[in-house]
Chains A and B, each alone.
Chain A
Amino acid sequence: MNLKWRIAIILGLTAASIWALFPRTVVERVKRNGVFVYDTVRRVPLKRGLDLQGGMHLALDIDESKGAVADKSKAIDNALKVVRNRIDEFGVSEPVVQKAGNDRIIVELPGIDDPQRAQDVVQKSAFLEFQITDKTQALEKALPRINALLKDTKVNVASSATATTKDTATQGLQSLFTADTTKKTDSTKTDTTAAAGSTVGGPGAFSKLIQPGQLPGQYIVAQSDVDLVSQYLSMPAVQAALPPGKVVRWASDTLSFGGRIYRPLYVLDAKPIITGQYLTDAKPNTSPTEGNLVEFTMNNEGARRFRTETGRHIKDYMAIVLDQRVMTAPIIQGAIGAHGQITMGGQDLQAAQDLALVLRAGSLPVPLKVADVTQIGASLGKDSIHKGITAGVIAIVLVVVVMLGYYRFSGALAVAALSLYILYTLAALAGFSAVLTLPGLAGFVLSIGIAVDANVLIFERIREELAHGKTVRTAIDEGFRHAMSAIVDSNVSTALTAAVLYQYGTGPVRGFAVTLLAGIAASMITAIFVVRTFYMIWLNRSRSAQTSLSI
């Protein structure tokens, strides 16, 4: 190839690389005074991974603990849209929301400073239901049966404890005496899952924990008993005993009476009069009388249904249930149309904002659970970059010293090529918008060491040819020619390994593989093509040099 062309290609590549790395103006979301706005920023177009800039990585699976999902892939597709909408509204610069495999969603939120809130926004099912509270005293009617059931459980728990410790054994005996003796213990039938402990059970086990509230279908439970009641309610036997056509839901907020804290428990008609699927808009607001609230608007069909249903239930209480928690249960004064509101209780405006956000973005078709979470503080990222760069600079200095000391002039050519190598590699990373991660940075530092391998191979070959008494020009030609097969074979096999790594790696490892691939390509170009061209320039310029070569 003509020398002029070679020089032109190198200059072209260099110019393209500089252009690729030149700080440019990009439009991105930035946080200003706590609000995200679109703005233009100037920066080097190299993407940093979460481990370098801090942020949060979430992997979400379908939560099947409350029932299996038939078509997971489709459910995930639908959930993906919802999560994406929510994240877009949440306001993060350059978020990643993608499907991984068939049943997982990956969410990456770089630079996030309130991870818990972000996770809540992503995970909240936001399933809104409007249910009428029970006014038939169905729970009271079922209470004797539930009490009887729980008494059985208690006997069972106590008798199983007699075998283990003496202390609980005596207590168990006592409760055996107090227990209804007409009932025989049937350990195969009763539920042993209740970790009820020894302080409960006996007659009225359930009814003594709850007392009627102020409105029909509302009961109040002391906060200290909430866990126990929840446990009772989750037992299959108790669930079967609950009044048919009704559901039991906790309130989202607590009440306090005379210094004690209570959590209301609601019994509701199982069939909701309407759900959140008809919602078209939701926005947060603050009312002087009711505090923070979310106002919502329904579409025409929703409004029509809502009007008929609420018209039928005037003077009844309607519970607004979000994700199976009763937010509020106002009385229906008259038919309600397209507009309604959800009061937030004591929660702050931020909570109202988030609720409005998730309601707007739609409810998740399936519950999601976090399968994997990584959260990295921004300071750690900065520290990692700083240390990575220190290590990189030291590695470069060491390599330069070794090369110059051993190969002298030729070493200098290799060092010049090495600086082009660094430039090309970074440009390639920017060009493919690869993400720079910490292992990637390490891989890059390492590849600087490996990059000189090609040069070393060539130089050693040239030395051998010179030792065989060849002229400088021939020795250089032969050296490059002979070293070629080794360079190609070794680099191709490393590249293949890197490709496998890319295919099967995740996150940081993928970043590492990309850096390795870019490094291999750049090192082959610089060692084979650039250094050769440097030699050619040198041979052309100085006639005297043809008799001896500093290598």
Chain B
Amino acid sequence: MLRILHDTNYDFIRWWKVMAGITIAFIVLGLGSLAIKAPNWSIEFTGGTLMQLNFTQPPDVGEIRSTLDAAGIHGAEIQQFGTPRDFTVRAQNAEQVAAQSKGAATIANTIESVLKKKFGENAVRVVRKEGVGPRVGQELKRGAIIAILLSFLITLVYLSIRFEWRFALAAVIATSHDVFTTVAFLKLMHLEISLTVVAGLLTVLGYSLNDTIIIFDRVRENLRKGRKESLYDTLNRSINETLPRSVMTHVTTFAATLALLLFAGEVIRPFAWVMSFGIVTGTFSSMYVAAPILLWIERKWPRKTGTRTSSSTATPTSRTRRSTATATR
């Protein structure tokens, strides 16, 4: 039997202050730079025009830019997309978005016609074209925020029922931590926040929650056993006991995301980045956010002696268990 990290007894939680320092620094760095410069919203959110163009000959970017400028489309972002013959053009400044409110295809049509005039009718092919009016973007932004908040609320309720409110709160705080780190990551990587990336973010939240629940499930079980140990030790024990599972799952999932990152192409790459980072932050937050927060909640609002086990579990056997020592250390 091949075993890794079997029967370990690391004191994971001891390092929580260091870890908290690292993650807070990361979040402050990311959100700080967010305060300096707004995030890179995709045109789905800001409104505007995105075109993916395929040229028969590698074109000169300056030439594309000057052609667009001559047509009155200023400040468009022109980027190579994969091969030297593929480019994306993004026109999403306020003036261009305002022009979209008359009809979302106007700017895209202008870009297409001027580039075809410049490079030749058959030298440019429009592979993808997206035009979004300003209103749609606002609705999407609101939808994404509602989706995240709603998923938190539902999780809170579900975990309160299945575990108890302390666990639910700790799990949700750990998950919101992942929202912040992922947003910071997006910012530091200069990734564009698109709908797909938001979907990736929500998957990360689900994944991180998954991981927290696996550990909390073990805590719940160990609490039921009624050992004479502090919650601190129970948490450490639970993290150690679930360690082989954590490593195996993260390895396989990471393998899958890595495959996406490397082979699934340019369109899905930001999503794959978010997922890869999500696996890291999800694992981290389960150990170093969820667990210390649970300890903190316990210290702040201690369970009444004798009710802890019955409130934390739903099984009839638990009522016979003795309560364990206080959770603080």
Contact = CB atoms under 8 A, between A and B. Distances in A.
Nearest to A379: B127
A500 B264 contact: no
B186 to A, nearest CB: 16
A456 B253 CA distance: 12
Given A65-B102, A505-B147, A384 B158 contact: no
Nearest to A374: B130
B310 interface: no
A463 B1 contact: yes
B251 interface: yes
Contact of A504 (B103, B105, B143, B207): B143
Interface in A340-377: 369-377
Given A446-B256, A463-B1, A486-B214, 11 more contacts: A59-B104, A59-B133, A370-B103, A370-B131, A371-B136, A387-B264, A398-B256, A456-B248, A460-B244, A500-B150, A509-B199
B209 A490 contact: yes
A243 B158 CA distance: 70
A485 interface: yes
Interface stretch (A162-170, A402-410, A538-546): A402-410
A377 B135 contact: no
Interface string A396-434: 001100110110100000000000000000000000000
- Chain A CB within 10 A, most for which of B206, B218, B271: B206
Interface in B112-171: 125-133, 135-136, 140, 143-144, 146-147, 150-151, 154-155, 158-159, 162
B206 A494 contact: yes
A326 interface: no
B252 A402 contact: yes
Interface string B187-211: 0000000011011001101110111
B268 interface: yes
A482 B222 CA distance: 12
A392 B258 CA distance: 11
A224 interface: no
Given A500-B150, A509-B198, A375 B256 contact: no
A296 B14 CA distance: 85
B196 A439 contact: yes
Interface in A246-294: none
Interface residues of A, number: 77
12 contacts: A116-B109, A372-B133, A373-B108, A388-B265, A391-B260, A398-B255, A405-B2, A438-B196, A453-B245, A485-B220, A490-B209, A494-B210
A491 B109 CA distance: 46
B213 interface: yes
A442 interface: yes
A316 interface: no
B263 A496 contact: no
A501 B146 CA distance: 10
A448 B260 CA distance: 12
Contacts of A449: 252-257
B25 interface: no
B249 interface: yes
B202 to A, nearest CB: 5
Contacts of B324: none
B264 A509 contact: no
A457 B282 CA distance: 17
B329 interface: no
A507 B194 CA distance: 13
Contacts of B260: 391, 395, 442, 445-446
A494 B209 contact: yes
Interface string A457-479: 10010011000000000000000
A457 B265 contact: no
B217 interface: yes
A405 B255 CA distance: 14
B233 interface: no
A337 interface: no
Nearest to B162: A489
B267 interface: yes
A219 interface: no
A504 B128 contact: no
Interface in B77-129: 101-105, 108-109, 125-129
A548 to B, nearest CB: 10
Contacts of A370: 103-105, 131, 133
Interface in A486-508: 486, 489-494, 496-498, 500-501, 503-508
Contact of A496 (B155, B217, B248, B257): B155
Nearest to A457: B245
Contact of B213 (A395, A460, A489, A497): A489
Contacts of A490: 209-211, 213-214, 217
B126 A377 contact: yes
A516 B203 contact: yes
A493 B217 CA distance: 13
Contact of A498 (B206, B252, B275): B206
Interface of A: 51, 59, 61, 65, 115-116, 119, 369-377, 379-380, 383-384, 387-388, 390-392, 394-395, 398-399, 402-403, 405-406, 408, 438-439, 441-443, 445-446, 448-450, 452-453, 456-457, 460, 463-464, 482, 485-486, 489-494, 496-498, 500-501, 503-509, 512-513, 516, 550-551
Secondary structure at the A interface, as helix, strand, loop or mixed, is helix
Contact of B196 (A391, A403, A453, A509): A509
B325 interface: no
A288 B263 CA distance: 58
Contacts of B252: 398-399, 402-403, 449, 452-453, 456
B205 A497 contact: yes
B22 interface: no
A395 B249 CA distance: 13
B304 interface: no
A372 B209 contact: no
Interface in B221-276: 221, 241-242, 244-245, 248-249, 251-260, 262-265, 267-268, 271-272, 275
A506 B140 contact: yes
Contacts of A438: 196, 267-268
A439 B268 contact: yes
B52 interface: yes
A496 B172 CA distance: 14
Q: Which of B151, B221, B241, B244 has the most CB of A within 10 A?
A: B151
A528 to B, nearest CB: 15
A168 to B, nearest CB: 20
B126 A375 contact: yes
Contacts of A59: 104, 133, 136
B300 interface: no
Nearest to A446: B256
Given A373-B129, A463-B1, A516-B203, A496 B154 contact: yes
Contacts of B37: none
B268 A388 contact: yes
Contacts of A380: 52, 127-128, 267
A248 B138 CA distance: 38
A380 B221 CA distance: 50
A446 B199 contact: no
Given A460-B248, A494-B210, A504-B150, A377 B256 contact: no
A101 to B, nearest CB: 8
Contacts of A408: 2
List the 7 shortest-distance A-B pairs measured between CB atoms, nearest first: A449-B256, A449-B253, A398-B255, A391-B264, A387-B265, A395-B259, A486-B217
Report which residue of B155, B203, B210, B213 has the largest number of chain A beta carbons within 10 angstroms of its beta carbon: B203
B221 A482 contact: yes
A505 B200 CA distance: 12
A321 B135 CA distance: 32
A503 B271 CA distance: 20
A406 B221 CA distance: 26
Contacts of A486: 213-214, 217-218
